[in-house]
A and B are shown apart, each in its own frame.
Chain A
């Protein structure tokens, strides 16, 4: 299922060009479409968009700006995947580094990292994400050579990547604390290996399995968080499509145009379900005894 969703997302430009004959952000408010031999307004004079036509153009209907919902759904999948995978990669890299440092060095380093994690853990992730998303959207990000405009996809990506670190760093720290007492680490230390060498040469290979189990769950979590942030106006910004923004826009016309909300909602459910199944399969394959879940 997840592979199918990825393939659909990758094929979005082909669908848009050859089937729907539009782009994800092309407005068509005063346009018309032929449905069953009858010319119909894409958006009526009352501002009500057309519902599903079950044909190439406007398969799932239009939004209030006359944009093709099916096309935006597929492009939304691309954005969701990009953000979720990239954010999870950021989470993973930061989580591994922080977990290794805290678990291996212990003492002051562990205290600083663990208390920082506690602070992050204490703030509701969604609240933190919304606060960061809204404030960064105004002025963008300027950190030395790094410059992002307020509507860049990288802003929600970085936010989700950073706020997700606690989910990985804490369990990895525990794993590293256990591993650092193992004989193979003692042996490396006796041979004069440096701290970084032991961490990345000896301990890291032994935590890869845990990371692999966590990865799909983190991706699923990132997909949900991205959708929530976008729904609340703090994630992906117009004209870029996102399932979260599509649900938010559809909510206002949910009685007359339920497809606008149901379609992205269904995609979200399928994606998260399939990622959870993947995560479960990975866990079964690597370590059937492990019990892994993301606590919020």
Chain B
């Protein structure tokens, strides 16, 4: 998932988990009695900005995804559950999980019978190929997830929208869909569950349909798209009878775009709106934590915030220096720069994902404790790196700027001669991803595309190092990590290879190849009218709008 501007964290953060360890004072969802709720009615919500797209082929933000997820359904999807329960692909429009044959290169699925779109038209197996063609033809940000399909690159190169993708065959009579891959890819079931792969009718144009979203097969349908001012979700009366797609409890959920964070905070505190997507900020966040009993909680997301250390450049080509940095990071201090909306962490992989095993004890001390500056300084001295000049790169967006300044200050505290280097946000990742920049260290973060460790490990895979647009900013090129990833990334049985991902995570930390400091938190904030304890926070799509219900 693309990295996010700070104010848009709530909009774009791709995942959040059940881990309510950091719940604010308002969390009483663990109570034994469930609030009585009614079916039907209208609720209102605020967003800070209009979603990037309201077209499943194009949207690549969670702001868009959390709306599209309840309006469209792919062949595979996720249960509407919190935590790990909602992280594993389950059959969506397909009858069952794919049969994987040919050494992991062929996927066979069968479409359920009698499915209808929200406009009443029938769902056909061939709609799947059309949906994937739209993703590729529209040069969607999600194209890369489907380019491993045989013929996908040829389709792209040909430039003809209605041309065939040879690796996809679909039989409308039987509903059987076969997908052939060029190489085995253990993450492909997750790609099939992404909103990009949602089925839309075969006559959906090859153009952005945000203004008039196509019919879908979700719990809601998107209506009344009003320019960039808002949109409405209306209950889909033709919703397929599928367990994985629950009935919407509300009749209507109306979203309005309100740019002022202060107004959003004020209105939610005063119950003038039922839900806000973004967390309240500043004093309003403090007020929400204290006063919004039973309608506010904080959730740790599947994201990782870390300082990259360029292993090709001095002084970070020295393991002792990298370990010193890990000893010297003041993670609780960094968490305060995110208004407390960060859970200090030791692992590179985020929690509540298969493959995550909490490093306990953390080799560098309790992430919630004070840094071990004495040990860090000692290692720097032993490495002969005292006073080594280091430039810590960061961008000028809200918290990132302060975090970068703090990271440089923390490197100074352990004996390095560090200075922050703040550049404009829109060019930051291209700048540090260019080898000519020779970025020594700096701010980096990642939010999941899907709950699979491979979606994080590519950031430290030697095979992903590039001269430009490099995302392995630290040029981590560890032979053990590289060879293990090459093997386990092909295995579609995540449970079987999860322990190996955990081992790689541990190795990353032990070798100091990255310096992670936390997982971002988001907030769930509703009005008193909503049955708060029934709202599900999904690990990938955040708030599950199908679970919104008005109190009786």
Interface residues of A in 241-256 (CB under 8 A from B): 252-253, 255-256
Given contacts A29-B336, A47-B340, A138-B423, contact A65 B282 (CB under 8 A): no
Query: In the bound complex, do residue B333 and residue A27 qualify as a contact, i.e. CB atoms below 8 Å apart?
Result: yes
Tell which of A38-46, A101-109, A209-217, A268-276 binds the partner: A38-46
Cβ of B396 within 8 Å of any chain A Cβ, yes or no, is: yes
Cβ A238 vs Cβ B406 within 8 A: no
Question: How long is the Cα–Cα vector from A256 to B409 in the complex, in angstroms?
Answer: 25
Chain B: number of interface residues, binned into ranges: 20 to 34
Q: Is A137 part of the binding interface, using a Cβ–Cβ cutoff of 8 Å?
A: yes
A138 and B336 within 8 A (CB):
no
Chain A residues in 8 Å Cβ range of B336 = 29-30, 43-47
B423/A27 in contact, CB under 8 A: no
A37 within 8 Å of B by Cβ?
no
- Tell me, rounded to whole Å, the shortest Cβ–Cβ distance linking A257 to chain B: 9
Binds A, one of B13-21, B414-422, B505-513, B529-537: B414-422
Which of A26, A134, A239 gathers most chain B CB within 10 Å? Answer: A239
A292 to B278, CA, bound (A): 52
Which of the segments B76-84, B251-259, B397-405 contacts the partner chain?
B397-405
> Is there an interface contact between B285 and A46, defined as CB atoms closer than 8 Å?
yes
B402 CB, min distance to chain A CBs, angstroms: 5
In angstroms, how far is the closest chain A Cβ from the Cβ of B507?
Answer: 30
Whether a CB of chain A sits under 8 angstroms from the CB of B349 is: no
Complex contacts, B421 vs chain A, CB 8 Å: 150-151, 237
B171 at the interface (CB under 8 A from A): no
**A253 vs B334: C-alpha distance when bound (angstroms):** 18
Q: Which of B339, B409, B431 contacts A47 (CB 8 A)?
A: B339
Interface assignment of A258: CB less than 8 Å from any CB of chain B? no
Known: A27-B405, A44-B336, A45-B340. A138 touches B283 (CB 8 A): no
Closest chain A residue to B333, Cβ basis:
A29
For window 70-127 of B, CB contacts with A under 8 Å fall at: none
Contacts of A30 in B (CB 8 A): 330, 332-333, 336
User: Restricting to B292-349, which residues have a CB under 8 Å from any CB of A?
Assistant: 330, 332-334, 336-340
**Contact, CB under 8 Å: A46 / B422:** no
* Binary contact track A54-96/B, C-beta < 8 Å → 1, others 0: 0000000000110000000000000000000000000000000
Q: A52 on the interface (CB 8 Å rule)?
A: no
Contact B339 A46 (CB under 8 A): yes
B183 within 8 A of partner (CB): no
Q: B36 within 8 Å of A by Cβ? A: no
Given contacts A45-B336, A233-B396, A238-B401, list 6 more A-B pairs with CB under 8 A.
Answer: A46-B339, A65-B337, A65-B402, A65-B409, A137-B423, A237-B422
Closest 6 A/B residue pairs (Cβ): A29-B333, A47-B339, A27-B409, A46-B286, A30-B333, A233-B396
Interface CB pairs A-B, < 8 A, 18 = A25-B405, A27-B410, A29-B337, A29-B406, A43-B336, A44-B286, A46-B286, A46-B289, A46-B339, A47-B338, A64-B337, A138-B431, A151-B419, A233-B422, A237-B421, A239-B419, A239-B420, A255-B283
A interface residue numbers (CB < 8 A to B) = 25-27, 29-30, 43-48, 64-65, 134, 137-138, 150-151, 233, 237-239, 252-253, 255-256
